[in-house]
Chains A and B, each alone.
Chain A
């Protein structure tokens, strides 16, 4: 058997410095986080809000968060899995759904802070670049976009969520360079193309192509759409209704949760300090009373 030199010796482990936990998990980019969280010292305790957008395989999470030493405090959150309440049941992770989630979060936050009447945002969603105008009484709610670890390419869904929040009435510093429909050659945002993406036009176009060329694939891929009777031409209407429903009532619905079921315990429950001390006293008394009747000598404690 050949002698294999141990590669990771004890010395290696002794000197090894672990990275921060969230860096080890690959979830947080600390370089970006420091720059997002750092508040001017002469603004003391004024919170600096981040508009956090994260995508999972089946859901979109949008939050308004502020940092504190105890942990980040979430002011308001919106999930794509809430969109069924507003009439959108399929395609919950596409660009249009991201727009809806961003819009829902923006309206929720403004309603919570009682600014929703002042700052209506862009009610009719065109694809144009829209920034909130400051009203007389209060300045608009400012947040900074936190994309996390995704690649910020043109047309990414986080910018769909960003557009939703902007149209909802939040003040988020941005440029139109990364919205879907920005062309590198002409260096301008094509509002038509962006409008198409916001209303799911790209999904509708794919549906039409599949229906003509590969009907079987269309059936398997868009089965949920056909089950609910959503046609390529009707997609824009669906999203228009969802936007209206969101603006009408953005408050989250509280779901009824049953108290958790009691499970059978398969291992012993850990005793408290008091219980352990009491047990020890009991054992000692038992030992002494057992040994006591045997020999009546003076025993040291």
Chain B
């Protein structure tokens, strides 16, 4: 009999719970709130059978477009042929984690706002743009001794000692 292509085919390891992480799932998953527009990671929890997304979406990140009683609507990009479609799926909250992809951006935004406010108070104009890493500065090499190496003239007699 050939192997089938069912909904959960080839997910034996993908949906498996981790080593020593089986059983009751921690309650913080149920206490997190999600708002529309936030970024979330879809990560299937094999212990909860309801509201599971298809295996394609495992590991994808998308934005929240809908919030219902027990599930969240996530809009995920999927490449179909030669184009990328935004697909809207509904996933139970156990299979969703808040994404940290925008965390660095949000922190930088806060810091920049603070820097700008301070600069305005001082009356300066600052640029908060990120600059790429430039070439490394030059430096003096410490503790270097000079050793001049010259080639020695070819000595036929000694080199033929091995045999000819």
Contact = CB atoms under 8 A, between A and B. Distances in A.
B31 A69 contact: yes
Interface in B69-85: 69-72
Contact of B27 (A15, A16, A19, A67): A67
Contact of B34 (A39, A41, A67): A41
For chain A, the bracket of interface size reads: 20 to 34
Interface string B18-43: 00111110011011111100000000
A30 B24 contact: yes
B89 interface: no
B95 to A, nearest CB: 13
B24 A40 contact: no
A31 B32 CA distance: 18
Contacts of B34: 41
Contacts of A37: 27, 30-31
B148 interface: no
Q: Is the interface of A mostly helix, strand, loop or mixed?
A: loop
A52 to B, nearest CB: 15
B52 interface: no
25 contacts: A17-B20, A17-B21, A19-B23, A19-B24, A30-B24, A30-B27, A34-B24, A34-B27, A37-B27, A38-B30, A38-B70, A39-B31, A40-B69, A40-B70, A41-B34, A41-B67, A41-B68, A41-B70, A41-B71, A42-B69, A44-B35, A44-B67, A67-B27, A68-B31, A69-B32
A12 interface: no
Nearest to B64: A41
Given A19-B24, A45-B33, 18 more contacts: A16-B20, A17-B22, A30-B24, A33-B27, A34-B27, A37-B27, A38-B30, A39-B30, A39-B31, A41-B34, A41-B70, A41-B72, A41-B93, A42-B67, A44-B67, A67-B27, A67-B31, A68-B31
**A-B residue pairs, 7 tightest by C-beta:** A17-B20, A40-B69, A30-B24, A42-B67, A41-B67, A38-B30, A69-B28
A204 B30 CA distance: 47
Contacts of B30: 34, 37-39
Contacts of B93: 41
Interface string A1-17: 00000000000000111
Nearest to B20: A17
Contacts of A23: 24
Contacts of A16: 20
Contacts of A39: 30-31
A17 B17 CA distance: 13
Contacts of B28: 69
A45 B32 CA distance: 9
B69 A20 contact: no
A113 to B, nearest CB: 23
A41 B24 contact: no
A43 B159 CA distance: 91
Contacts of A68: 31
Contacts of A31: 24
Interface string A38-56: 1111101100000000000
A33 to B, nearest CB: 7
Contact of B20 (A15, A34, A42, A67): A15
A214 B71 CA distance: 64
Contact of A20 (B22, B24, B32, B72): B24
Contact of B23 (A17, A42, A44): A17
B17 to A, nearest CB: 10
A45 B35 CA distance: 11
B31 to A, nearest CB: 5
A44 B70 CA distance: 11
A68 B23 CA distance: 21
B27 A44 contact: no
Contacts of A45: 33
B33 A44 contact: yes
Nearest to B93: A41
Contacts of A17: 20-23
B11 to A, nearest CB: 22
Contacts of A15: 20
